[in-house]
Chains A and B, each alone.
Chain A
């Protein structure tokens, strides 16, 4: 059952991601990105990480879908259909991505958990309170900065 779910969610995620990078209309690409994030949230649930999956749903799928819905007209305005294409040297990007994919896939299928040393100390959630607080402050600062940068003069 879990394998079937993995295949379905993986197909949705990869299919939507491929559509995002090949789609010529930005508003459609944004909706497909939200679908891809939905697939990733499903995979995170499969990995028994409900907190991360919920955050991915909120920020990834929810946030992107909201941005796509609110800015659909503006996305069409900034990039008319057909103009959000590829650069003349798109083949170089495809070559780099394919080479990296080969290396990473080989590593993934030759990965052996037994080869990695087991840490002696148990990691506890309490030790991450300060990094979490720092990350929240970073996010708040980034949002304020974004508002200031985008403000019409």
Chain B
């Protein structure tokens, strides 16, 4: 049993989530935005496992959900990078500020 209080893990996960959120909102490059989203997903994984550990009666629920989330994160990252590669092939840019044709 870990001696670190679960609140510390939750606080760390919350900080990591907000750092990822800033990266997803403020960065110009699509790849950088994907990295921010990946950080947010990692924070949620940490949160799930921390809650699962804190609520002993929940058994393996937290860990199983975390594993499912890792798989979803991998799928999302793969598709996101494929889209970025296609954007680069077609428009020679990955800057989200330049990809604004839907505005017109």
Contact = CB atoms under 8 A, between A and B. Distances in A.
Nearest to A153: B89
Interface in A94-153: 94, 96-98, 100-101, 104-105, 107-109, 111, 113, 116, 118-119, 122-125, 128, 131-132, 135-136, 138-139, 141-143, 145-147, 149-150, 152
A10 B63 contact: no
Interface in B68-104: 68, 70-79, 81-86, 88-89, 93-97
Contacts of B53: 47-49
| Chain A contact patch, size range | 35 or more
A8 interface: no
A78 B31 contact: yes
Given A2-B3, A3-B3, A98 B35 contact: no
17 contacts: A43-B46, A56-B42, A56-B70, A60-B70, A63-B77, A79-B94, A87-B27, A97-B19, A100-B18, A101-B15, A105-B11, A108-B14, A122-B57, A135-B72, A139-B75, A147-B82, A149-B83
Interface of B: 1-4, 6-12, 14-29, 31-32, 35-36, 38-39, 42, 45-46, 49-50, 52-55, 57-64, 66-68, 70-79, 81-86, 88-89, 93-97
